[in-house]
Amino acid sequence: MKLVTTEIRNSAPSRRFLAGLLSETSLVDLVAAHAAAGGKPDALPGEMLAFLETGDSALAAARSALEFARANPAAKAPDGRRLVWPRAELRLLPAVPRPGKILHTSVNFRSHKAEVAGGFQSDEWKRQDWGSFHYQHPTGFLQAPSSTVGTDAEVFIPRFTEQLDYELEIATIIGRRAKNVSKERALDYVAGFCVFNDVSARDIQAREHANKVILLGKSFDTSCPLGPWLTTRDEIADPENLRMQLRLNGELRQDASTSEMIYGIRELVAWWSQITLEPGDVITSGSPAGVIAGRKDQVWLKPGDRIEASIEGLGTLVSIVAATKD
């Protein structure tokens, strides 16, 4: 099942709800469908984090609600709410709006390590000894939950950067509280997966790297597109063997597989669970090669650029680059 928080366009006051994907062009208000089917009140939370915290019972209720709406598309909830909405009338928010934490895994594809070491041209980057980057365990950093946006959203170029870049990654969404879990049981704690675009201010990131920190270059507003929806774990037979592709204005820039990660999803969940993981937390995979910073022709993202980040089975996350809004 594919789940997403949606917001009704041109609605005053703004109204959002938890939706299930019925097709590429229509979604179901799951709480309304649950009520229309005679489901027990409060069995299906309408907010993503509460939904994930409720666990298997909420997931079962959501599946039943989706099937009811599929069979009865013209039905309405007891309070008159319709069940099925055209996607065009909705704005899709981040797969997990305001996750508790985003645990970002760094340099987790050997192809990206090679391009960082050989292709990043700034003096700040060249001073980094990337050849000595070691793999005794995953390495990463936290990103700001406030930086997330959904699919089809604008990504604003901050005033402080002249080098805006993309990075295609798979995001693992935690579904159960996890602490010190084993690699063998790691997927038992996963709710599902989505696409992540790690939009990066390379000039700021390089200066931060020189000081052994990462913050502003990766956590500014709109820098973490996350979506287009959360695909539940049962729909993905092997999350460690999925095709990954990113296109910039239609041109294929990144083409890889999750099988190429140095540390796979199971290992990442197990490692990062040394920090208590909670429902809705996001673990990112790191990016394969093909970023702008690794190219000889470093033409950075500019207003009007369209980024299409796709992962097999998870859909396509679309981002539109825009000039700063403040």
Mean pLDDT confidence for 26-54: 96
| Beta pairing, strands 164-165 & 200-201 | antiparallel
Size of the chain, expressed as the number of residues it contains: 326
Q: Which residue has the higher pLDDT, 210 or 139?
A: 139
Q: Percentage of the chain with pLDDT > 70?
A: 94
CA torsion 206→211→212→213, rounded to 10°? -70
Residue with tokens 């008159």: 80
| CA angle at 101 for the pair 97 and 103, rounded to the nearest 5° | 120
pLDDT at 297 over 90: no
Residue 116 pLDDT class (50, 70, 90 cuts): confident
Region 56-61: what's the mean pLDDT? 96
- Kindly report which listed range (199-213, 227-241, 282-296) carries the lowest average pLDDT score: 199-213
| Residues in CB range of 80: below 8 A, 6 or more apart | none
Question: What are the start-end ranges of the H helices in 220-321?
Answer: 265-272
pLDDT attached to residue 124:
63
**Per-residue pLDDT at 125:** 66
Cβ atoms within 10 Å of 211's Cβ, excluding its own: 8
**Domains of the chain: residue spans and CATH:** 2-92 (no CATH), 102-322 (3.90.850.10)
Confidence class for position 127, pLDDT limits 50, 70, 90: low
pLDDT at 128 over 70: no
What pLDDT, on the 0 to 100 scale, is given for residue 109? 92
126: pLDDT strictly greater than 70: no
Q: What tens digit of pLDDT does each residue of 181-222 get?
A: 999 999 999 999 999 999 999 999 888 877 778 899 999 999
Q: What is the pLDDT of residue 209?
A: 78
Confidence class for position 74, pLDDT limits 50, 70, 90 = very high
- Residue with tokens 């989706």, as numbered in its chain: 66
Report the pLDDT value the prediction gives residue 111, as an integer from 0 to 100.
Answer: 83
pLDDT above 70: residue 134: no
Tell me the C-alpha distance between 241 and 239, whole Å. Answer: 6
pLDDT bracket for residue 115 (50, 70, 90): confident
Tally of CB atoms within 10 A around 21: 21
* Burial class, 172, CB count within 10 angstroms (exposed 0-12 / middle 13-18 / buried 19+): buried
pTM (2 d.p.): 0.95
